[in-house]
Chain A
């Protein structure tokens, strides 16, 4: 009896410290279907909040256009990051060349770098490249900012591939590129999957970069749109929380589903990354 109640202690503690999360997310879903909520108590249920799916909100762009924008940003970022990080990660893990140490050191320094503080300067770089107010520009910036982490993670996975396999492929007449593309990359599919998931989640959620670098309406992403909905009224009581939460749930559903189906792979990212 004593040991049984003792075994319950971790559960009770976990439930207690996790309770804000349970309440928050419970409210989010409930509120999207409620006319109005007072705390956790809904005043009535409705589907009216979800009307934005069929007709745009007044003075706002169509939600499907913004979903497409968000998708464009996320996918181009994911593809760019995967390609660049896996190429660079391979080079840093497997190629011997002068400057390798320097590159590795730089990756680490950039990894710990206050990238967000460079936004002012990046604004000018984007303008000079004529990529200001473009989703591709934001995707490029985000790729660069997440590159140190991506390279480090991919390097971790490449490090774990046995040298014998690569030697064998080289002896059999592969070039270094063929060996990378045909032999090694297929071997680290879990790593690629992990980085792809990480990139997708991170790209879908990105707020600050499009908020700063993509001011125009037609290129707006869901995060910026939501920020506009929330801050539009200023005071809490003037914001239509039914609609805001409905858009919020709409925005969060893809990442939730994505996460649930892929979380097994995501958890390996840290294993690969931390081992270095």
Chain B
């Protein structure tokens, strides 16, 4: 604001006045401070996000594999054409959609909402206890967690499912082989449910009590209160979880890798992300195909960017970035 006045002063004394020099230094410091605060984050993002994205896109256009590593050829869109025409692509695509939306609906949103509602309608301490119990899968190392499911679904006489179900007349079986989808979805869902459970619980607790009390005075039942007040009032968190978890599920494959590794049989539970991993990093087929795997990954990258931009619009990004009240200094 004072720049004009300063210019006048400068001319008046011929040499740059101390005031001008100080201002210049302040400007330098102004610049330095965002650089200092954001520098490390920016560097990490460039090295481990930006460069890998570009690399992924580039590798996806080559025939890079263990066999061709010494003589990499640029093949253009060949990997993408191959992906479109591959016999198993529809199957993997179908698997991916089935996996994402079933897990999301049943567990990551459905079960999470159920637990949040149930634990907020019982005594506070008991509610906390149950929520802690549901957080266990999330804090359990994935290897052990997968082991628990493998064990529970194992053949008789080892598995607990068979032990508990055979008295009820259910044929003894290895559940991971006979019902791989049910187990994969439940195992992922038990982890996923805790995320929405916490967000929904805090949202439910933030609802002003006046609404609930008023409804009760008017004679509403608990069920009516839940349907007409609680759930409508937490619709934003529900949308947020749905959007966010869709993307998480789309790219998650760790538990599937540990549980079924895409099997049993031919790509029974193979999802897109796991397929990219198999092609590009695992020695499953002997010849690791970096190029094809990267092309598969690039598809997910594009979907991720499109989806997150769409979510930014839905969640009205502009409102979230109110300008700071002090200028950089």
Q: Which residues of A approach B to under 8 Å, CB–CB?
A: 10-11, 13-14, 17-18, 20-25, 27-28, 37-41, 83-85, 87-88, 90-97, 100-101, 103-106, 108-125, 129, 140-141, 143-145, 147, 151, 163, 166-167, 170, 175-177, 180, 201, 204-205, 207-208, 212, 222-223, 226-227, 230, 236-237, 241, 244-245, 248, 251-252, 255-256, 259, 263, 267, 270-271, 274, 276
Contact = CB atoms under 8 A, between A and B. Distances in A.
B231 interface: no
Given A10-B121, A94-B326, A245-B147, 8 more contacts: A22-B133, A24-B148, A25-B136, A97-B34, A114-B247, A170-B326, A252-B141, A270-B202
Nearest to B31: A97
A97 B147 CA distance: 50
16 contacts: A10-B119, A11-B122, A17-B114, A28-B144, A39-B159, A84-B40, A87-B41, A110-B49, A121-B51, A125-B47, A143-B44, A147-B45, A166-B326, A205-B142, A236-B158, A255-B140
B36 A208 contact: no
A121 B56 CA distance: 6
Nearest to A255: B139
Given A105-B317, A118-B49, A113 B33 contact: no
A264 B135 CA distance: 13
A21 B133 contact: yes
Q: In this complex, which of B49, B162, B300, B305 has the most chain A Cβ atoms within 10 angstroms of its Cβ?
A: B49
Interface stretch (B3-11, B13-21, B308-316): B308-316
Contacts of A92: 38
A163 B47 contact: no
B244 interface: yes
B142 A112 contact: no
Contacts of B324: 93-96
Closest 3 CB pairs of A and B: A39-B163, A144-B48, A114-B251
Contact of B328 (A84, A143, A176): A176
B37 A91 contact: yes
A97 B59 CA distance: 36
B52 A39 contact: no
A95 B48 contact: no
Contact of B37 (A37, A90, A106): A90
A115 B40 contact: no
Nearest to B30: A97
Interface residues of B, number: 103
B61 to A, nearest CB: 13
B126 interface: yes
Given A114-B301, A237-B158, A27 B141 contact: no
B321 A120 contact: no
A113 B308 contact: yes
Interface string B220-259: 0000000000000000010010001001001111100010
A22 B149 CA distance: 13
A274 B151 CA distance: 36
A124 B294 CA distance: 12
Given A95-B37, A120-B293, A109 B132 contact: no
A257 to B, nearest CB: 11
Contacts of A176: 33, 328-329
Q: Of residues B34, B37, B142, B162, which shows the largest number of chain A Cβ atoms within 10 Å of its Cβ? A: B37
Contact of A151 (B41, B54, B251): B41
B130 interface: yes
Contacts of B33: 91, 95, 176-177
Contacts of B42: 88
Contacts of A118: 48-49, 52-53, 56, 297, 301
A276 B317 CA distance: 10
B41 A13 contact: no
Interface in B121-139: 121-122, 126, 130, 132-137, 139
A109 B312 contact: yes
B301 A84 contact: no
Contacts of A167: 326
Interface string B69-104: 000000000000000000000000000000000000
Nearest to A197: B139
B144 A248 contact: yes
A205 B140 contact: yes
Contacts of B188: none
Nearest to A128: B51
Contacts of A125: 47-48, 51-52, 55
Given A96-B324, A105-B317, A108-B312, A251 B141 contact: yes
B281 interface: yes
Contacts of B281: 119-120, 123, 212
Interface string B103-128: 00000000100110011011000100
A111 B293 CA distance: 23
Contacts of B320: 104, 276
Contacts of A101: 321
B199 interface: yes
Given A96-B327, A176-B328, A110 B297 contact: no
Contacts of B247: 112-114
Contact of A39 (B119, B150, B157): B157
Given A84-B40, A113-B304, A207 B139 contact: no
A21 B107 CA distance: 14
B277 to A, nearest CB: 7
Contacts of B146: 230
B311 A112 contact: yes
